[in-house]
Amino acid sequence: TVLILDFGSQYSHLITRRIRELGVYCELLPCTQKMADLHFQPKGIILSGSPYSVYDKDAPRVDPSVFDAGVPILGICYGLQEMTTFMGGQVDACEHREYGHAVLSVRKHPNHPFVDTLFAGLEGDNVQVWMSHGDQVSAAAPGFTVIAETRTAPFAAVAHEEKPFFGKLSQVGCEWSEILTRFIYLMIGIQFHPEVTHTVDGPQLLRNFVIGICQCDASWTMESFVDKEIERIRSVVGPIDHVIGAVSGGVDSTVAARLMHEAIGTRFHAVLVDNGVMRLNECANVKKMLGDKMGINIKVADAADLFLGRLKGVTDPEQKRKIIGNTFINVFEEEGGLIEQELERSQSDGKIKYLLQGTLYPDVIESISFKGPSATIKTHHNVGGLLDDMKLKLIEPLRELFKDEVRALGKILGLDDELVWRHPFPGPGIAIRVLGEVTKEQVEIARLADNIYIEEIKTNGYYRNISQAYAALLPIKAVGVMGDKRTYEQVIALRAVETKDFMTADIFASAEWFVCLKRISARIINEVKGVNRVVYDISSKPPATIEWE
C-alpha cells in the first residue's frame, strides 16, 4: 500500500486514481494523519499539492514522523515545499504564478541510481510536464540536490543527496535481506504534477516511484477486490448473523447489495422504502431486478402515503429533506423490527447486527478532510441516524472505491449496463424536483415529464454523454394556446449536466441536442396534462447547483 497524504489539492484524488490504475493499492488520508495511528505499513508515501502556501499561518503541516517512516517519500508541488521547509530550505512566492505546460530537463546522476529509476523513460531535455503553483523552492534544503529543472523552476525536482540509506532496525520486524530491498529511505520532491494528464509521462513517473523505487506489487485488480471483500464480509459478519441494508435502485446500493448477497446469501435483507417520490415504476423495477433476477431477499415498505402526509404544506427545501430523512429512518427501523420478529419466529440463532451502506471513497475523504466538514449547502439524505437507534454496526464494502471503480465492480458482478451507467438520483427524490408543496398530483406530473425526457435521451443515444438529467416542475403558471384555446398551466424545467465529480458541472449543450430538446418539449406538452411550457436550465454549477432545491 502507498500512503498519500492530502493537503487539500484539487488533484489529490487523481494521484490516488493514477496509482490504482497501475494496479497498486493506495490510500488517501488527510495530511494531519499521525503515523502512529496508521492501520497499515505503507511501502511509500506521497505528499500532495495544496491551495495553501507553506508560509501561511494556517498552512497544513505534516506529522514530522512521516520523514522518519523509513520508506521513500515523494513530495508533489506543496509536498515538495513542505519537505523543503521542514528540512531547512526556503520557499517563496514566484514573481509570476506558473500554470500550464513546462519543459523539464532531467540531469544525469550516475551516483544516484534512484534518480535514474525515477526518471526511467523520461530522460532528456524535453520532458513535457504540467505546472500549477504560485510558490516555489528558492533554496533547496541542506543535503538536497537538483535532479531536474525547467526554464522558470531551477528546483523543479530535488532528491536527498545522501539518502538512500537503510531504515532503522527498530522500525523493522523482518529479515535483513528484506530490509535491504524494502526499507530504503529516499526523499524526492517535484514541483510539477505527474497526476494530471497534461504531464504526458506522468503515469510512467508514478510507476517508477511506486513500483521501481517503493517496490510495491502491481496486483490490485477489481477481481481481486471482489474475492477479498467477500472474504472480509464473511469474517466480519460470521456464520449466523444477519445484515440489513436500504436499496434504492441506484448503482451504489445495488452493487453493495449484490456483493453482500454473494457473501452471505439470504442472511442479507434488502429494504426498499417506497417514499412516494420515486421515479415512474421504480419500486416494481427494483424489486424485479434485485429480487427476481439476482435472488436477493428484498422487502418493499409501502410508505408513500406516510411520506406525502408529512410533506403536506411544506415548501422549504431543507425542511423537505429533513422530513424525508427522518421518515425514512422511522420506516426503515420498523421494517428492521419486522424482519427481526420473523427471525425470532423461525427460531434463527442469528440476529441483525450490521447495517450495509454503499458509501464511496469520495464521501469518506470529504468527511475526514483536514479542513473539517465544509459548510452545509444542502443536507444530503443518508441513513446515518439508524446506527444509534438500531444499535447496528456499519459495514461499507465500497468505502475504498471511486464511482467508476464501483461501475467496474458492477460489471464484474454481472449487473446490466443500463444499471451500471444509471444517472444519480437524490435520496429525497422527486420531492426536491417539485418546487413548492409536494402533492401526489404534482409528483405525478414531474414523474411523467421526467419519464418522457429520460426515454428520449436514451432513444437518441445521449444517456451516456450526459452525467445527470431530470425534469423539475416549477410552482408557477404560464399562459399558452392549445387548439385555439387559452391555457394557463405549469412549467417543466429540463436539466442536463456534464460533470466528473458532481462538485462542479456544465450544462449539456450542442446544436443537435437543442433539436432533440424541441421534440422532447413537444412530447411533454402533448402528453403530460397540466403542462403548457418547457424550459431548459442553462445554469452551470457553481453558482447554481445540479438540483433546483
- According to the 3-state scheme, what is the secondary structure of 490-514? EEEEEEEEECCCCCCEEECCCHHHH
> In terms of CB distance, is 133 or 433 closer to ligand XMP?
433
- Cα(265)–Cα(267) distance, integer angstroms: 6
Query: Applying CB under 6 A, does 249 fall inside the site for ligand XMP?
Result: no
Per DSSP, helices labelled H in 394-481 are 403-412, 417-420, 440-459
Of the listed 13, 27, 31, 77, which one is catalytic? 77
Residue 164: asked if its preceding bond is cis (omega within 30°), the reply is: yes
Q: For cell 494556517, name the residue.
A: 58
Residue 254 counted as an annotated binding residue: yes
Residue 406 counted as an annotated binding residue: no
Size of the site for ligand XMP (CB under 6 A): 14
Of the listed 82, 149, 195, 282, which one is catalytic? 195
Residue 248 counted as an annotated binding residue: yes
Nearest alpha-carbon partner for 208 in 81, 109, 113, 108: 113
In the complex, the smallest distance separating the C-beta of residue 382 from ligand XMP, rounded to whole angstroms, is 7
Q: Is 242 a catalytic residue?
A: no
Q: Is 112 a catalytic residue?
A: no
- Cα(480)–Cα(214) distance, integer angstroms: 68
Within 401-430, which residues bind ligand XMP (CB under 6 A)? 424, 426-428
- Cα(452)–Cα(447) distance, integer angstroms: 9
Within 509-548, which residues bind ligand XMP (CB under 6 A)? 541, 545-547
Residue 404 counted as an annotated binding residue: no
Residues in the chain: 549
Burial class (CB in 10 A: 0-12, 13-18, 19+), 267: buried
Beta carbons within 8 Å of 174's beta carbon, 6+ residues apart: 182
Q: Is 26 a catalytic residue?
A: no
Residue 255 counted as an annotated binding residue: no
Query: Which listed residue (253, 254, 468, 532) binds ligand XMP by CB under 6 A?
Result: 468
Within 295-324, which residues bind ligand XMP (CB under 6 A)? 321
Q: Which three cell numbers stand for residue 257?
A: 447489495
Pick the stretch among 5-13, 97-105, 374-382, 409-417 that binds ligand XMP (CB under 6 A): 374-382
Pick the stretch among 209-217, 377-385, 410-418, 527-535 that binds ligand XMP (CB under 6 A): 377-385
Of the listed 193, 242, 261, 269, which one is catalytic? 193
- Cα(234)–Cα(260) distance, integer angstroms: 9
In the complex, the smallest distance separating the C-beta of residue 546 from ligand XMP, rounded to whole angstroms, is 3
Q: Which residues are annotated as a binding site for ATP?
A: 248-254
Which residues form the catalytic set? 77, 193, 195
- Residues of the shown chain interacting with ligand XMP in the complex, contacts defined by CB under 6 A: 321, 378, 380-381, 424, 426-428, 468, 502, 541, 545-547
Extract the annotated binding site: 248-254
